[in-house]
Structure 1
Amino acid sequence: MEIKIHHKFDSNKLDEICEVYQSAGWLKHSNEVITKVFQRSDIVTLAISDGRVIGVGRALTDGVFNAAIYDVVVHLGYQKNGIGSLILSDLLEQLKDVSCVHLISTTGNEEFYRKHGMKKLKTGMARYLNSCLTEEYLE
């Protein structure tokens, strides 16, 4: 399978991007939400096979000191084929000159990020408005 990487959000691919999120169980990612978060992202990675989006990733950054990676998601039908690694590697390459890159792993995917050089923070903190996420991610 040939994978092409694109670095620009394409609203014509919105339904395909939504399908990626929905297939992975990220049900709150409607077309409206996806448009908002991708338009506000500084860095976008879309994995495309046979003209269809099969994986996504995005990041916010000041371009010098800090960046945060969000939403490394691969369509359920394409998982376990190295596409997530391809997306994350591309994001990290685009952020190679940024001093600090943060991310919050979804539960159970921590080892995936460790394989790409990410490490646990000693002083990382967060707040969540959603009580379920508070229970899952905060001490």
Structure 2
Amino acid sequence: MCYRIQENIDNIDWQEVCKVLREAGLTTHSTELTRKAFKNSYRVVFVFDNELLIGVGRAISDGAYQAAIYDIAVLPSYQGKKIGKLIVDEIHKGLQEINIILYASLGKEAFYNKIGYNKMLTGMAKFKNQNIMREKGFID
């Protein structure tokens, strides 16, 4: 299967982006906040099957030595078809020789480990709603 990859935010339907994030089980925000997050990112990747948005991902970076990957999401009906790996690989193309931290959804650790990521032992987080993140199992 040949998918179309877009690496900018031109003509993106933000309601569709929110739909992909929601259906993939990620936390969603308003369409405006989602647009702002992707607009302010260092790298963005959108994957389409014809005109259907099926996957998204983004990275923030200083462009020199640090980056973080967020919002890797694929519609459930397209999962298992290497689209998540395609998104990460496309993001990596713009992050050569840079340390990358990846914020994974619970239960997806094995996928990221398989493509070269390792669990950090020193990671720390400060969330705006610590109690919810603790309940969801993201923090101790």
Q: TM-score, normalised by structure 2?
A: 0.89
- Alignment of 1:137 onto 2:123: no
Instruction: From the superposition, tell whether residues 37 and 11 of structure 1 become closer, same or farther in structure 2 (CA, over 3 Å).
Output: farther
1:41-80 matches, within 5 Å, as 41-80=41-80
Structure 1 vs Structure 2: percent identity of aligned residues? 36
1:109 partner amino acid: K
Deviation at 1:115, TM superposition (A): 0.9
Moved more, 17-26 or 75-84: 17-26
Summarize deviations over 1:93-116 as a string: whole Å, max 9, x none: 221231x10012111100111111
1:108 — aligned with what? 107
Give the Cα–Cα distance (whole angstroms) in 2 for the partners of residues 104 and 110 of structure 1: 10
Structure-1 separation of matches of 2:11 and 2:128: 28
Query: In the alignment, is residue 123 of structure 1 matched against residue 108 of structure 2?
Result: no
Distance 1:88 1:2 in 2: 17
Aligned residues: 138
In the alignment, the residues of structure 1 paired with residue 23 and residue 30 of structure 2 have an alpha-carbon distance, to the nearest angstrom, of 12
How big is the shift at 1:11? 4.3
- Give distance in 1, aligned partners of 2:36 and 2:11: 11
Where structure 2 has 5 or more consecutive residues not aligned to the other structure, the ranges are none
* Uncovered stretches (5+) of structure 1, i.e. residues with no partner: none
**Runs of 4+ deviating beyond 4 Å:** none
Separation in structure 2 between the aligned mates of residue 132 and residue 18 of structure 1, nearest angstrom:
20
Amino acid in the other structure paired with 2:16: E
